[in-house]
Amino acid sequence: MERLIIFKTFSMLFACLFISDVTFGETRNFINDRQAMFDKSKSKMKILRQSIRDRDQEAGLAAITFHLDWSNKLESSFPPGSEASVTNSSDASGSIWSNFEGFKNLNTDYLNKARQVKTAIESEDFVLAKDSFLQLTRTCKTCHEKFRN
Ligand code: HEC
């Protein structure tokens, strides 16, 4: 009987350790994945700026498509519990989750400005595309000021 209790206690302990490790690992994946996407976002902005300068519609559309796709996935890359802590490499501010509506609104601004850039490039209006591009860069800055540590 006593052995059974000891066995059960150990099994439960291992189950808990396993579950916490899975959760911890998943959170880390979310953080790594979104940071990789943000890094890509930065390099796609450089390509986008250059393609607007070069009036290169094809390269411009490819770069802006990345931003539209990423914006659609951005919010789900921030599950609760994935904020910056001493045990991870994240710079995500805890205020994302205390004000998720505000965070979503800034992502919507990002999406809308990306759409404007796309429309301008599609109509080969590169003067408008340049102006919309500058507005797009501001949506990155605004969100970082508010929600990145
Ligand atoms: C809606 C909010 C939001 C928008 C819009 C946004 N970012 Fe970020 N960005 C964040 C947050 C939050 C982090 C921190 C993520 C983390 O470390 O977990 C971040 C991190 C980054 C990083 C650092 C990634 C790393 O390796 O640690 C780069 C680079 C970056 N963003 C670029 C951009 C660019 C370029 C844009 C615009 C095209 C942009 N971001 C738009 C919220 C945003």
CB of 97 shorter than 6 A to ligand 1: no
This prediction's pTM:
0.89
pLDDT value at position 20?
A: 61
Structural domain count, the chain: 1
Whether 71 is in the pocket of ligand 1, judged by its Cβ within 6 Å, is no
| Distance in angstroms between the alpha carbons of the first and the last residue of the chain | 54
Q: Residue 2: its pLDDT value, please?
A: 75
| Residue of 37, 73, 85, 144 with the most ligand 1 atoms within 8 Å of its CB, for mutation | 144
Q: For 85-143, what is each residue's pLDDT tens digit?
A: 999 999 999 999 999 999 999 999 999 999 999 999 999 999 999 999 999 999 999 99
Give residue 16's pLDDT. 62
Ligand 1 mean position, distance from CA 50 (Å): 21
Q: How many residues does the chain have?
A: 149
Could you read off the pLDDT of 24-52 as tens digits, one per residue?
778 889 999 999 999 999 999 999 999 99
Ligand 1 geometric centre to CA of 140 (Å): 7
Q: What is the DSSP string of the chain?
A: -HHHHHHHHHHHHHHHHHHHHHHHHHHHHHHHHHHHHHHHHHHHHHHHHHHHHTT-HHHHHHHHHHHHHHHHHHGGG--TT-S--TTS---B-THHHHTHHHHHHHHHHHHHHHHHHHHHHHTT-HHHHHHHHHHHHHHHHHHHHHHB-
CATH of the domain at 67: 1.20.120.10
Specify the residue with its C-alpha closest to ligand 1, atom 39.
140
Q: Alpha-carbon torsion 111, 48, 138, 83, what sign?
A: positive
Q: Residue 21: pLDDT above 90?
A: no
Q: Cα of 95 to ligand 1 centre, how many Å? A: 15
Task: Assign 70 a pLDDT band (cuts: 50, 70, 90).
Answer: very high
For ligand 1, mutation pick of 67, 74, 140 (most atoms within 8 Å of CB): 140
- The minimum-distance atom of ligand 1 relative to the CA of 83 is 18
Query: Domain of 12?
Result: 2-147
